[in-house]
Amino acid sequence: MTTIEPVLTRSRELAAFGASITADALPEPVVHNARRAFVDWTAAALAGSGEPAAAKLRGVVAAVGGDGPCTVVGTTLRTSPPFAALANAYTSHLLDYDDVYNPSATTIHLGSCVWPAVLAIGQARGLAGPALVAAYVAGFEVGARVACAAGPQHYESGWHVTGTAGHLAAAAAAANALGLSAEATTHALGCAATQAAGVREVYGSDTKAIHPGKAAMDGVLAALLAENGFTSTDTALEGERGLLRAITPRPHPELLTEGLGTDGSDTHWHVLDNGHKLYPSASLTHPAIDAVLALDPVDPAEVAAIEVRMAGFAAAVTALAQPETGAAAKFSTAHCVAAALTRRHAGPAEFTDTVVADPVVAALRDKVTVLADEAVTKRGCLLRITLHDRTELRSTVEQNKGTPAAPLTDADLEDKLVTAGDATLGHQTTDLLVKSCWALDRLAGLDELMAYVTPVSPVCHAG
């Protein structure tokens, strides 16, 4: 009797790649980038955990998610894996402080989709550090390839790439964490693909962070369904009516499997090109913030006009001149420039409703003109400040801080976690948490680390 092997579709090949990743076969730079990513994600999750919108979502999770083994970061709430993934992903993206993978053709926040799925399965199944690292890398690599295959037309459309490709990333991570076969992982990816969603019209509201939240939640659900024998198709990504053709007029399905390699040494690892944020705002605004902070301090009263030249898409997405809330200000280049120039800083405090309403900041926003300049990349900007005495101050950024060409150091990322942790957990607990995060790949389990992200003083389930 002849055994007929299934056709190796691109969806199936990508799934097999994700399923095959193990920590012991990963190059050390990849493992270290996973450590860096976890430190950064934990900082973003803790920083966002105290936000009012996070409490609103947790109130719903507490009401409908049921009890479970999984920790919701920054609270005493424990719930089921899918709902923990939802809450932790939401919180980690809420301040727009999470990681950003942004090659020329796309931008996606993979950490907020992947780590919550990995932690949910990891706590539920008692996984050790090496399995957590492998699952994260599997999710990141699959998600990055799907985002690149969707290409710039998808990125520049009404879709939010984190919400679409993020579903595949989370499913691949959860499937790897569960130890699913290549066949079952294929079904998990298909199940995730049909749930993919997220539109950019909701930017600047409580709803934007739902995109990675649902990606993580649905990815966990897809993997658990596949583990239980649930089936999908093996062309859910590249098929005629698959995800790529549904979300972009110019899909590049060949990028789904480009650079997979035969072993870790000849694989192109997208995780090595990941970026991390210094500022809690849309990544497209970061070059302008860098440009302002590179100048010597300027008295706002002396400023007559400010001109910011950015890539066309960046200028369009961040063109809001007078945001009304801190959440909306994250997508306003005018606000980012005005706040950075006035306050010489661009942290969470600069994106509050109070600073948005500051009359000095508001008046300075009125003096900002944002221009599209196709000679500028999305990681750069040209800044010109004209003073009342006609003095001109110029600042040029080609690659903003936190991008692969100008990466944040390990110390930068640790400082970010210390700042968020000290405010939420206290210094002593934060110190223990930092050490555990850097030792992620050597942990015997998650219980001790997750205890560190739970406040010592009780808080209500909703907050």
pLDDT in tens, 135-186: 999 999 999 999 999 999 999 999 999 999 999 999 999 999 999 999 999 9
**Per-residue pLDDT for 355 more than 70?**
yes
In our burial notation (b when 16+ CB lie closer than 10 A, e otherwise), range 243-273 reads bbebbbeebbbebbbeebeeeeeebebbbeb
Predicted pLDDT at 290: 98
What separation in angstroms does the CA of 47 have from each of 350, 416, 422? Answer: 14, 9, 10
Predicted pLDDT at 455: 87
- Max CA pair span of the chain: 89
DSSP run (H or E) holding 381: strand 381-387
Amino acid at 157: S
DSSP run (H or E) holding 63: helix 52-64
How many Å is the Cα radius of gyration of the chain? 22
Q: Helix 129-155 vs helix 161-178: angle between axes, to the nearest 10 degrees?
A: 160
SS3 393: strand
Please state the rounded mean pLDDT for residues 210-233. 98
Within this chain, domains 10-277+435-452 and 283-397 share the same CATH topology: no
Predicted pLDDT at 2: 55
Q: Which residues contact 219 (CB under 8 A, 6 or more apart)?
A: 85, 113, 117, 139, 166, 167, 168, 169, 170, 171, 172, 173, 174, 188, 192
DSSP run (H or E) holding 311: none
Confidence of residue 460 (pLDDT cuts 50, 70, 90): very low
**Per-residue pLDDT for 266 more than 90?**
no
What separation in angstroms does the CA of 333 have from each of 240, 284, 309? Answer: 39, 8, 10
SS3 40: helix
Tokens of residue 172, six digits: 């691949």
d(CA 436, CA 423): 18
In terms of pLDDT, which residue wins out, 265 or 213?
213
Predicted pLDDT at 6: 65
**Per-residue pLDDT for 246 more than 80?**
yes
Q: How many other CB atoms sit within 10 Å of the CB of residue 458?
A: 8
Q: What is the pLDDT of residues 303-315, one digit of tens each?
A: 999 999 999 999 9
**Per-residue pLDDT for 458 more than 50?**
no
Please state the rounded mean pLDDT for residues 231-238. 98
Q: Where are the beta strands (DSSP E) in 195-277?
A: none
Q: Which residues contact 364 (CB under 8 A, 6 or more apart)?
A: 300, 303, 306, 337, 338, 341, 342
Positive or negative: CA dihedral 342, 346, 351, 353: negative
Tokens of residue 268, six digits: 């192109």
Q: What is the DSSP letter of 329?
A: H
**Per-residue pLDDT for 382 more than 90?**
yes
Q: Which residues contact 276 (CB under 8 A, 6 or more apart)?
A: 36, 37, 40, 99, 100, 402, 407, 408, 412, 413, 416
d(CA 34, CA 83): 24
Q: Where are the beta strands (DSSP E) in 239-372?
A: 303-310, 368-372
Mean pLDDT estimate for the chain:
95
Architecture of domain 283-397: 2-Layer Sandwich (3.30)
Q: What percent of the chain has pLDDT over 70?
A: 97
Tokens of residue 300, six digits: 């706002």
Q: Are 369 and 307 in contact (CB under 8 A)?
A: yes
Q: Are 163 and 205 in contact (CB under 8 A)?
A: no
What is this structure's pTM?
0.95
CATH T-level fold of 10-277+435-452:
2-methylcitrate dehydratase PrpD (1.10.4100)
Report the Cα–Cα distance between both ends of the chain, in Å, rounded: 62
Confidence of residue 3 (pLDDT cuts 50, 70, 90): low
What separation in angstroms does the CA of 21 have from each of 163, 172, 263? Answer: 24, 11, 9
Strand partners, 310: 372
Q: What is the DSSP letter of 378?
A: T
**Per-residue pLDDT for 365 more than 80?**
yes
d(CA 439, CA 422): 20
Specify the pairing of strand 78-79 against strand 70-71: antiparallel
Q: Are 367 and 385 in contact (CB under 8 A)?
A: no
Strand partners, 306: 368, 385
Predicted pLDDT at 421: 96
Please state the rounded mean pLDDT for residues 223-244. 98
Predicted pLDDT at 264: 64
Torsion on CA atoms 118, 120, 121, 122, rounded to nearest 10: 70
**329 closest CA partner among 294, 364, 374:** 364
Please give the distance of CA 188 from its chain centroid, rounded to a whole number: 21
Q: What is the pLDDT of residues 90-146, one digit of tens each?
A: 999 999 999 999 999 999 999 999 999 999 999 999 999 999 999 999 999 999 999
d(CA 244, CA 256): 10
d(CA 71, CA 87): 10
Predicted pLDDT at 459: 39
Confidence of residue 456 (pLDDT cuts 50, 70, 90): low
**Per-residue pLDDT for 461 more than 70?**
no
| Domain positions in the chain | 10-277+435-452, 283-397
